[in-house]
Chain A
Amino acid sequence: MPEDPRPIDAFELGLIQGRARWIGDLTEFFRDYRIGDTTFALYAKGRTRNSGFLISRFFSWTVLPNYAIALFCVDEGEGSLGIETLRNRVDVVTRISKDEDLQWAWLILFSRKNIQPSIVSFVSRYDKRELGLAVASTTVKQIVLSNNQIGKSIEKHLRLSRALGEEKSGKTD
């Protein structure tokens, strides 16, 4: 029997197949990409204006703004994910967003441990509009999303729960 793909591989495959197209056009995908001291298991770059063909291309060129966007995933593995680590990750991505002039970014953290209540509280109360935040436990299939539009789109458009192998989303808003 073929082995189940790792959640991060399944998530990337969905993005390569254009799962993010309703919200942005992610066109380049790096794995194990190191920026400073942080290694991102997945780093995807793109823009808000999608390429398309004829009518959709014309529509996007005339209507949509052409902002740079990015998606960052960190695989925390078996290590415990604490508030301090999470804050560090958020700071790193916020700094990269400023340096790269990103309009918005997604930050998704995968962990093989249960998500601590303090993390749930931090993420679900996070509401800065330029960073969508999500923490996913790959063992208990729990997803916590930040309380902003970009954060909610991680489930609505990017379908993170499908990458975890869930039929129905077990997200905690």
Chain B
Amino acid sequence: MKDKKVTRRKALITGLAAVSGLHLPGCSKDLPPSYGNLLRMGDAFTYAAHRTLLPGQSLAREYSHKDITSFPAIGTIDPGGMDELDTSEAYRRLQSGAFADWRLPIEGLVARPGNYSLADIKRLPPQTQITRHTCEEGWSAIGEWTGVPLSRLLDAAGILPTARFVTFYSFDGWADTLDMLDVLHPQTLLAYGMNGKDLSVSHGAPLRLRIETQLGYKSMKYLQRIVVGDAFDDGGELGHIQTGWSWYAGI
């Protein structure tokens, strides 16, 4: 809880500083850089405004089983078919073994870094939620997700109090970051089940992120690795910012 306040205040200060073109030493390294790009300054301002004005960690609306709708699979629909990626062959091999050999490394600011198998993750108390997926394209869909809250897994790994951001890497070649407010949000889930079945390849097997207070592209599919850090990591060319998308998508 204490971390959150610091994050919010610093978000405000640096957000405003980014908009006015200033850089406060010591703060800017923790927050999304704007690279002097007017659009990214606007994104940073929106992020700062949300973190300042909205009550923290409100729950997104949940629906009932009969509300579940058809659900398109877009973006990457099979990392095993993307031969241009280094991870493609590894994904194909894991998929052929029903992901029994898949391991999720949790690294960085945790007391017990380690590799978690799907069975390890399924041993933690599960959570199921029926939520609306909102795509930046303009469509929406309601699905039921089963998994373990990210905070529960990070607690199991012994997340350190200095943690400020968590970075996710995926088998389809993306990297993305969440701040602690969203990381510790009670609906932020590492999902292995969708609509009562194992997560399909087209929807992100074996494990995907669900972040219900941001647009769909933040709910990264095909998780490969998680790194807990104390500074903002833009993911370089694998991240959203450098590919021209807003890092914060709570709009």
- The answer to whether A and B come from one shared complex is no
Interface residues of chain A, those whose CB is within 8 Å of chain B, are none
